[in-house]
Structure 1
Amino acid sequence: MMNPKMILQLKTMLTKFRQNHPKVPLFFSAASKAINEGSVIEISLTTAEGRELCTNMRVTQDDLEMIRTLGEMASK
């Protein structure tokens, strides 16, 4: 269990993240409603130096349970 001070720090950081990147939470909200078992999540990153990294994963039932649990925690 996280201590209350860490939870407050995390909440503050999350609020700032949402202010700095308003489209990201909207994307995650829409994606969480559309995702199902067998969906493929792909993540790519281009560094400031131009290096590209990319990976993907096929969503399992266990992944869905974790995503839903995290969503419930975030909404509290």
Structure 2
Amino acid sequence: MNFNPMALMELQKKFNTFRQDHPRVQPFFQAVKDSSMEVGTIIDMKVTTPDGVEKQCNIKITQNDIDTFKTLMSMNGMPQ
């Protein structure tokens, strides 16, 4: 798998902007990682649009999900 270094740099820049715009997200994921990331944990997601339309789903965490999450965390320089 080949990655474009410029695209990765742009992704890092966008992710840094996201973290600045939403400062509570990283601490939330850090807390979840520390206490809740185990096989069988359920993550429930809900999105509400400005006009009030709601969409919701949930996933049951697998070992693959945990491994992927850890990889993403390490790519961003977050402690594991």
TM-score normalised to the size of structure 1?
0.90
Give the whole-Å Cα distance in 1 for the aligned partners of 2:18 and 2:4.
21
Counterpart for residue 26 of structure 1: 27
Partner of 1:67: 69
What letter matches 2:46 in structure 1?
A: S
Give the Cα separation in 2 of the matches to 1:2 and 1:32: 27
What is the match of residue 48 of structure 1? Answer: 50
- The match for 2:15 is 14
Provide runs of 4+ in structure 1 moved above 2 Å.
none
Name stretches of at least 5 consecutive residues in structure 1 with no aligned partner.
Answer: none
Give me the whole-angstrom Cα distance separating, in 2, the residues matched to 1:63 and 1:24: 18
* Separation in structure 1 between the aligned mates of residue 32 and residue 66 of structure 2, nearest angstrom: 12
Q: How far apart are 1:74 and its partner, in Å? A: 1.6
Within 2, Cα distance between the matches of 1:33 and 1:68? 11
Could you tell me how far apart the structure 1 residues matched to 2:54 and 2:43 are? 17
| Residue segments in structure 2 that go unaligned for 5+ positions in a row | none
| Paired residues, number | 76
Residue 44 of structure 1 and its aligned partner are, at CA, apart by 0.3
The residue type paired with residue 27 of structure 1 is: F
Q: C-alpha distance in 2, partners of 1:56/1:27? A: 17
Identity of aligned residues (%): 33
Aligned alpha-carbon RMSD (Å)? 1.3
Correspondence for 1:39: 41
Distance (Å, rounded) in 1 between the aligned partners of 2:50 and 2:3: 34
